Amino acid sequence: MAVSTSPATVVVCGGPQSAAPAGVPMTRVLTLDTLVRCDVAAPGSGLALALEPEWLESRQTLRRAVVRARHAAPGLEAAVLRGPPLAHHAVLAEEGIRVVVVDAFADVGRGSRRPAPAGWPCRNVAWGLWEVRSCPPRRSATWAWLPGLPTPRRGALHVADGGDGGEARLRRLLEWAARGAAAGRSVAVFLAELPAILEGRRSAALAASVLKAA
């Protein structure tokens, strides 16, 4: 099998108050209450909604929450779900969410509607919505104690969510992403940039260069 020579694509998600090193775009994961309270008029690509597990108990509850979030932040297209598998994919797509980071995929009984790059931990089970597994896993004891993180594998996708693991873990993830970018082994992008990259509308390298120029 041929080894990819293209850089890895890296996404780092963190808390609203965290600071990222220069050159590493970090997606800030906000609760619905924070979004509504702050009334973010133009969020751009750098925000994601923290989905509450109880919202998944009904389509109506999930829809109401996402509608409120996008009313407060009209450009919001990304979300993060910590814990249970995602449900009601079509509702999220209908309400404008384009990508969700999850801990694990649920068995939905159907394959991906659009192909993803080989080996990338993502799928498209509803038109307009991509579901992406976080890696390294948030709750892995192995990742918790390792002094260093593995080198990003060329051509791979790494979506790292450090938002609920403390500032020390998040700082390590950001430094890891910065080292990979500085060495040319990886390209860091916002979570909301992934759908365009996955669908071939933009390369990771182009997305990163646009973000740096902004």
Cα separation, 208 vs 190, in Å, equals 8
pLDDT at 213 over 70: no
- The answer to whether 64 and 56 have CB atoms below 8 angstroms apart is no
C-beta atoms surrounding 53 within 10 Å? 12
Q: Is the residue at 146 inside a domain?
A: no
Paired tokens of 139: 């709750």
Name the least confident of 80-84, 102-106, 162-166, 175-179. Answer: 162-166
Q: Is the residue at 201 inside a domain?
A: yes
Domain that holds residue 39: 8-138+152-213
Q: Is the residue at 195 inside a domain?
A: yes
C-beta atoms surrounding 33 within 10 Å? 11
By three-state DSSP, how is residue 32 classified?
A: helix
- The size of the chain, in residues, is 214
pLDDT at 4: 64
Q: Is the residue at 145 inside a domain?
A: no
Q: Is the residue at 52 inside a domain?
A: yes
Q: Is the residue at 127 inside a domain?
A: yes
- The answer to whether 138 and 117 have CB atoms below 8 angstroms apart is no
C-beta atoms surrounding 175 within 10 Å? 15
pLDDT at 5: 75
Provide the number of structural domains found in the chain. Answer: 1
pLDDT category at 111 given cuts 50, 70, 90 is: low
pLDDT at 209 over 60: no
- The answer to whether 102 and 81 have CB atoms below 8 angstroms apart is yes
pLDDT at 136: 58
Cα separation, 13 vs 162, in Å, equals 6
User: 207 versus 160: which is more confidently predicted?
Assistant: 160
pLDDT at 45: 73
pLDDT category at 114 given cuts 50, 70, 90 is: confident
pLDDT average, residue stretch 135-162: 67
Q: Is the residue at 56 inside a domain?
A: yes
Cα separation, 180 vs 202, in Å, equals 21
Name the pTM for this structure: 0.85
pLDDT at 17: 72
pLDDT category at 11 given cuts 50, 70, 90 is: very high
Q: Is the residue at 2 inside a domain?
A: no
pLDDT category at 110 given cuts 50, 70, 90 is: low
Condensed to tens digits (0 to 9), the pLDDT of residues 150-201 reads 677 888 999 988 866 677 778 888 888 898 999 899 999 999 999 999 988 7
